[in-house]
Amino acid sequence: MSESGEKLIADNRRARHDYHLLERFEAGLVLTGSEVKSLRQGQATLTRAYAEIRGVEAWLIGAHIAPYEQAALGSHDPDRDRKLLLHSHQLASLGGELREKGLTLVPTRLYFKAGRVKVELALARGKVGRDKREDIASRDAQREMERALKGARDRER
């Protein structure tokens, strides 16, 4: 459990690699009991997931929540679309931005907060290959600088 009372279930590291994340939102999820039990065991994947707005509702699509082993007959569909719980003013502003600017809505984290399942959504713009190479080069340069500084500090001792 982290300091903020959040327990991480799944992290979408791929989203940080494939997109420029611009703005983040927190949303609730409409789930069944067996889905919550499965999430408590940490059995979720967000790698191919995205969110879309249909009319006046937001939906999480492509998130995989594994079936709960001890569930009675009729367990949940692991890849079904799940309704997101957002305020109406958030839905209105997100809908406008998604239509106009060519952005997408990607889930970055799935976590428990005060006993409820929450998903962190990010308004994102896709990266091209050049952007990804630049990110990798800057990370490598940062790592080299840290190694050089550590080596200099070790020599001083």
Q: What is the pLDDT of residues 81-103, one digit of tens each?
A: 999 999 999 998 888 888 878 78
Cα 142 to Cα 104: distance, rounded to the nearest angstrom: 29
Q: Distance from first CA to last CA of the chain, Å, rounded?
A: 38
The pLDDT of residue 119 is above 70: yes
pLDDT of residue 59: 95
**What are the structural domain ranges in the chain?**
6-126, 128-157
Compute the mean pLDDT over every residue in the chain, rounded to the nearest whole number.
87
Task: Give me the residues paired with residue 68 across strands.
Answer: none
- Alpha carbon distance 115, 89 (integer Å): 25
**pTM for the complete prediction?**
0.75
Q: CB 139: neighbour CB atoms within 10 A?
A: 10
Phi-psi region of 74 (alpha: psi -120 to 50; beta: other; left: phi over 0): left
Given a cut of 60, is residue 2 above it in pLDDT?
Answer: no
pLDDT grade for 27, boundaries at 50, 70 and 90 = very high
Encode 7-54 in three state secondary structure: EEEEECHHHHHHEEEEEEEEEEECCCHHHHHHHHCCCEECCCCEEEEE
What is the CATH number assigned to the segment(s) 6-126?
2.40.280.10
